[in-house]
Amino acid sequence: MTYKQRIDNRGFDETRPIEAKVGVIPRADGSAYFKIGNTVAFAAVYGPRNLHPKFLQDPTKGILRCNYNMMPFSSSGERVRPGGSRRSKEISLVTVKALLPVLDLQEYPNSVVDVFIELPQTEAGSRCAGICAASMALADAGLLMKDLVAAVSVGRVDDKIVVDLDYNEESYPGVPVADIPIAMMPSSGKVTLLQMDGEVTKEMLMEALEKGKKALMDIYEVQRKALKEKYHGVDE
């Protein structure tokens, strides 16, 4: 019972403040910006475009490539060494897996859709912010997709279920902590990403997922608004 109030005075079901914008990178085919608390993600989509080397081409459908990159001085800890790491490779992979279920790439055989996710500033929940930004950028790029994808992390600190953990909660000393990033298609409620770090009971996990789903609907609203805002005033 040590965790009675959240460090930044949020409600336990409340996310950090969110900002979103679409069309931030003019030379990209689609782009978006997503900020949650102190975590900032930019996503740029290029394609469908020609894919080389040729052996990577798939004649039945286009492929999706994601690249998650934390910039060198983005985190509060030590400098992130530029170039890929084991961690960034894993997150790029789960981002692809979180986004693929909504994309219909059958229309683009032998081609590739590239997604570059850059994080100039991070404080926990960066893969979720990246997925949110990427899904908006893909929609902005005019790709065929069934739904958007919204992502947030949920978890537990001591005996409390919390939504959208920040760094202080992720590393809360002396009590059991769990961090569970989830990504979901908001319209159908299907989960496309579910990871976990820490320890939880089954009951706590189920409760956390329920709370996460509610928070995801709010995030979806922000994404939707940002997309509509870019094209606002289109009348013909």
Partner 1 sequence: MMNEHVEQKTETQEQSKVMVKDKDIAVPGETLAIGMDTLPGSGTYREGEKIIANRLGLVSIDGRAIKLIPLSGRYAPKAGDTVICKVFDVTFSGWRLETNSAYAAMMSLKDATSDFIQKGANLTQYYDLGDYIVCKIINVTSQKLIDVTMKGPGLRKLKGGRIIEVDSNKVPRIIGKQGSMVSMIKETTNSNIIVGQNGIIWIDGVPESELLAIQAIRKIEKESHLSGLTEKIKEFLDKKSQLKVK
Binding site for partner 1 (CB under 8 A): 29-30, 47-50, 59, 62, 102, 104, 107-111, 139-148, 185-188, 223-224, 227-228, 231-236
Counting Cβ atoms within 10 Å, is residue 40 exposed (0-12), middle (13-18) or buried (19+)?
buried
Nearer to partner 1, 80 or 222 (CB): 222
Q: How far is the CB of 8 from partner 1 (least distance, A)?
A: 31
Residue whose pair of structure tokens reads 């961690």 in the numeric block = 87
DSSP H or E segment with residue 160: strand 160-163
Q: Which two tokens stand for residue 226?
A: 């940002």
What does the DSSP assignment read for 51-72?
A: -SSGGG--TTS-EEEEEEEE-T
Q: How far is the CB of 192 from partner 1 (least distance, A)?
A: 13
Q: How far is the CB of 73 from partner 1 (least distance, A)?
A: 33
Nearer to partner 1, 191 or 196 (CB): 191
Nearer to partner 1, 49 or 87 (CB): 49
Nearer to partner 1, 85 or 188 (CB): 188
Nearer to partner 1, 1 or 234 (CB): 234
| Cis status of the peptide bond prior to 109, with omega within 30 of 0 | no
Q: How far is the CB of 234 from partner 1 (least distance, A)?
A: 4
- Alpha helices per DSSP H over the chain: 86-99, 126-140, 167-170, 202-230
CB 30 within 8 A of CB 180: no
Nearer to partner 1, 21 or 160 (CB): 21
Q: How far apart are the first and last CA of the chain?
A: 59
CA max distance for the chain:
60
Q: How far is the CB of 27 from partner 1 (least distance, A)?
A: 11
Q: How far is the CB of 104 from partner 1 (least distance, A)?
A: 7
